[in-house]
Structure 1
């Protein structure tokens, strides 16, 4: 507990910087990202790419995705890269498959990984590899991932790959011929944007409510405007500012924050981080408080219907694909009869 948690009667820290899926908030951009992920996963192959500036919530997005994934349908391997070279990358993927590749030559590593993918498929699951900070991967490692995506069984991909990176990764992906073959395997791509100005109030209320907020403290319209102007709508910056603001409020016994309170705190921030003060500010936004009081962004109704239909088809396809993969493994590695693939065509 921190001082302001106790002062405002909260049960935890609402604006911690460490990503926590329980604080997930559906901004317009994050809803779109989840829609792209849902579509990509329904395809069961290729690459899904999500990019975004630091602090826009890429890691939180992954945490939310992990909570939605059924481990009986997907075996997930997650890697956070720090310029991982090809050999180390292969070792890490093998470890995620429960395969020991220490001391093996590259060709042997690849064979072991393929056996590991077969082993997962035998259980009726697919394997999803999530690589965070993909902009740090050298081109040789990205090419190795592309090669791994070629592993198939009976015409069905054994591995699907989800790449998260900063904007420079998106630029690199589209910036030359070297990654052309990988680029052709990308089936869904989305760039996370900062939250819209009208979403800030609902974002603050959501995070506070998770830890027992009862309306104290409150934020005036000009306070919300000043917070958005300073943060640019980037969630991590919002969290930084809100945490410092609430500490200031506890010290000064403030129940409703004003624009003047926010400017006092941001002045301290800017003096502590002069580079931040030199960054361009956002244009003055309109008031965050709509007449309806609703801050949640809504997708168009036709998109919502399409997503619901997609979710139903995905569930049906997953069940069929798990049955087919199991039959294919038995057929390839044993004496079973050639499997009937009609169930997969019917599910598609």
Structure 2
């Protein structure tokens, strides 16, 4: 059986409409985790307050891009103009071109000064229409130094009363290290809202996460993951949502292959054995089991 057919058969077996643990940042599967809700509320408050720079950081797989997509959807619903930069490995002129393209500007000049002039004109128009542009940069830890400096210069665009542009940076913790260097002390001082995303903090929160994702996929039965499976899944994943999704998907397929109605710790173990990033925490898990007798 081909993988696509196997996946579909697995979803049918468990009464699912779609895969509950996909890796694509689909906001349909957004789970209102406390740390994500706090970060979202902090961003919205800072944007409504007219603050210039907002920063959200988190380790790989903690849900930054999904939170970024949620913010973009929210701003779209509020008819707030946005520019989204998913590829931050641009030089400074490339950044200006990307912003111009996001603004729908045509016949973009070659020279940076000319581009800045037409962008500033468009930003003034947006402010007169009711709201400054929100520039959102994903994977901001990859920004070259010259592009970070360009962002600082962009943030200088303002009237006597308000900014013409507000900037939200999403990035891995390495972004904090870059901003802490003397070269970027001016930019760091302009960051008025900073949030650090954390992994799932415990078994109860992971259990809630699994239930919510399954419910979004159409599952209506009793708990599909038994208590011991949730404990081992949390320990194997270190609470990182992306790794949870990888292991949960594999465990579902393994359990389906055995005709099991629920996922237990053995299914998680087989999933872990097939996942290199989960094997890295094997020693920690073994110490935990020796203490708990699981």
Same fold (TM over 0.5): yes
Equivalent runs, 1:334-345 vs 2, <5 Å: none
SS of match in other structure, 1:156 = coil
Encode CA deviations 1:21-76: one digit per residue, 9 max, x unaligned.
Answer: 01111222112211221221122131100011111000110121223225554101
Judged with a 3 Å threshold, the aligned counterparts in structure 2 of structure 1 residues 244 and 140 are, in CA distance, closer, same or farther, namely same
Question: Unpaired runs of 5+ in structure 2?
Answer: 1-6
- Output the CA distance in 1 between the equivalents of 2:154 and 2:88: 20
Structure 1 Cα separation of the partners of residues 79 and 162 of structure 2: 15
User: Kindly tell me: are residues 211 and 152 of structure 1, through their superposed partners in 2, closer, same or farther at Cα, counting changes over 3 Å?
Assistant: same
Alpha-carbon distance, 1:99 to partner: 2.0
The separation in 2 between residues aligned to 1:210 and 1:29, in whole angstroms, is 20
Flag structure 1 segments of 5+ consecutive residues without an equivalent.
Answer: 288-348
Q: Does 1:2 align with 2:8?
A: yes
Native 8 Å contact 1:11 1:212 kept in 2: yes
Structure 2 counterpart of 1:337: none
- After superposition, the Cα gap between the structure-2 partners of 1:113 and 1:71, relative to the gap in structure 1 and judged at 3 Å, is farther
| C-alpha distance in 1 between matches for 2:8 and 2:239 | 25
TM-score of the aligned structures, taking structure 2 as reference length:
0.90
Match of 1:210 among 206, 211, 216: 216
Instruction: Tell me how many residue pairs correspond in the alignment.
Output: 282
Superposition TM-score, scaled by structure 1 size: 0.76
Q: 1:225 to 1:58 in 2, by over 3 A?
A: same
3-state SS, counterpart of residue 12 of structure 1: coil
2:21–2:249: 8 Å Cα contact kept in structure 1? Answer: yes
- List per-residue Cα deviations over 1:200-243 (Å, max 9, x = no partner): 11100001101211225622211111000101111100000111
1:131, 1:268 → 2: CA distance? 34
User: Which one has the largest radius of gyration?
Assistant: 1
Aligned to 1:157: 163
Structure 1 residues 266, 71: closer, same or farther in 2, change over 3 A?
closer
Question: C-alpha distance in 2, partners of 1:94/1:55?
Answer: 30
8 Å CA contact retained: 2:10, 2:253: yes
Correspondence for 1:121 among 127, 133, 148: 127
Shift >6 Å, 4+ stretches:
none
Give the structure 1 partner of residue 70 of structure 2: 64
Residues 38-49 of structure 1 aligned to structure 2 (within 5 Å): 38-49=44-55
What is the Cα deviation at residue 127 of structure 1? 0.7
**What does 1:122-271 correspond to in 2, within 5 Å?**
122-174=128-180, 176-197=181-202, 198-215=204-221, 218-269=224-275
Q: The residue matched to 2:274 in structure 1 has which SS?
A: helix
Partners of 1:94 and 1:101 within 8 A in 2: no
In the TM superposition, what whole-angstrom CA distance separates every residue of 1:150-207 from its partner, at most 9, and x where no partner exists? 1112321010000000110112112x11001101110100111001112011100001
Preserved contact between residue 236 and residue 278 of structure 2 (Cα < 8 Å): no
Counterpart Cα distance in 1 of 2:179 and 2:148? 10
Cα 1:229–1:276 shift into 2, 3 Å: closer
